[in-house]
Amino acid sequence: MSEATGSVIERLKTSLPDGAVITDPGSMDAYRWDRANDPAAGVPLAVVRATSTEDVQAVVRLAAETGTAVIPRGAGSGLSGGSTAVDGAIVLSLDRMRSISVDADTRMAVVQPGAFNAEVKAAASAHGLWYPPDPSSFEFCSIGGNVATNAGGLCCVKYGVTTDDVLGMTVVLADGRAVRLGGPRVKDVAGLSLTKLFVGSEGTLGVITEVILRLVPPQLPPTTLVAVVPTLEGATGAVIEATRSARP
């Protein structure tokens, strides 16, 4: 290990809570790949398991000062290699930041990025509410990852994708500043929508450390209708016709 590398690791350990910094190669392996399984995944300098916005700020500030790359990481379910480690980088895992707080009166939730999509759905459901975005990976992907990739699932045709339910967020910028974008009210929209800019930015613009999500009343019980259409053109036409007057 070079002197410079050793110094970055020491400074990380000094500025972060005990146990937050992992440098043991065996333990770091769990944070090197996502579901893209890139055979060229690198070996990071360290993995940091942040517990707060302040932890994230400390990591990003040190990385900016020392020119060290940072890979934000949610649950590692991505299929495009976005959280794959590169040599000498700091993998910044949000998997320990998982608190969820629901305000049923204003129908919104304040969620830390490491909470799974399924956990947010369950927390909303406990208050008689629903969080619509439903990537197929909802049981094992994080809200931070969903926001960073603007995830959407089958329900997006009717209910939209993640960006449609993000009211605001706290994000740590590349120089370590933490900024709040948007806000808890649907009408917190004055000025350019920086919230929208950060949704789908895949960690390239900053690290999301808190998200404010819109919740909605639960779905009505579904009704299934089966139609047999003899041609592809007919089926397409039927879908277009039906969606002109209803949102199935």
Binding site for ligand FAD (CB under 6 A): 34-35, 71-79, 82-83, 94, 113, 135-137, 141-142, 144-146, 148-149, 151-153, 202-203, 207-208
Which residues are 212's β-sheet partners?
Answer: 110, 168
**Are 135 and 72 a contacting pair, CB within 8 Å?**
no
Cβ-contact 216, 130 below 8 angstroms: yes
Nearest approach, Cβ of residue 127 and ligand FAD (Å): 23
Q: Which helix (H) or strand (E) holds 21?
A: strand 21-22
Residue placing its CB nearer to ligand FAD in the complex, 92 or 124 = 92
Burial class for 9, CB neighbours closer than 10 Å (0-12, 13-18, 19+): middle
Please report which helix (H) or strand (E) contains residue 208, including its range: strand 207-214
Smallest separation, CB 19 to ligand FAD (Å)? 20
Shortest CB 94 distance to ligand FAD, Å: 5
For residue 157 the two structure tokens come to 């045709």
| Alpha carbon distance 73, 82 (integer Å) | 8
Nearer to ligand FAD, 129 or 135 (CB): 135
For residue 109, the cross-strand partners are: 102, 213
Cα 53 to Cα 200: distance, rounded to the nearest angstrom: 20
For the CB of residue 245, give the shortest distance to ligand FAD in the complex, in Å: 28
- By beta-carbon proximity to ligand FAD, the closer residue of 154 and 186 is 154
Q: What is the 8-class DSSP label of residue 222?
A: P
Rounded to a whole number of angstroms, the minimum distance from the CB of residue 123 to ligand FAD is: 17
Q: Is the Cβ of residue 63 or residue 207 nearer to ligand FAD in the bound state?
A: 207
Is residue 170 within a helix (H) or strand (E), and if so which, with residue range?
strand 166-172
Structure tokens at 186: 């649907």
For residues 88 and 127, which CB has a smaller minimum distance to ligand FAD in the complex?
88
Q: Least distance from C-beta 3 to ligand FAD, angstroms? A: 29
* CB-nearer residue toward ligand FAD: 72 or 132: 72
Smallest distance, ligand FAD to C-beta of residue 238, A? 25
**Among the listed residues 193, 173, 96, 81, the one whose alpha carbon sits nearest the alpha carbon of residue 142:** 96
Q: Please say which residue, 144 or 168, places its beta carbon nearer to ligand FAD.
A: 144
Helices 53-66 and 3-15, packing angle to 10 deg: 160
Which residue is closest to ligand FAD by CB?
Answer: 145
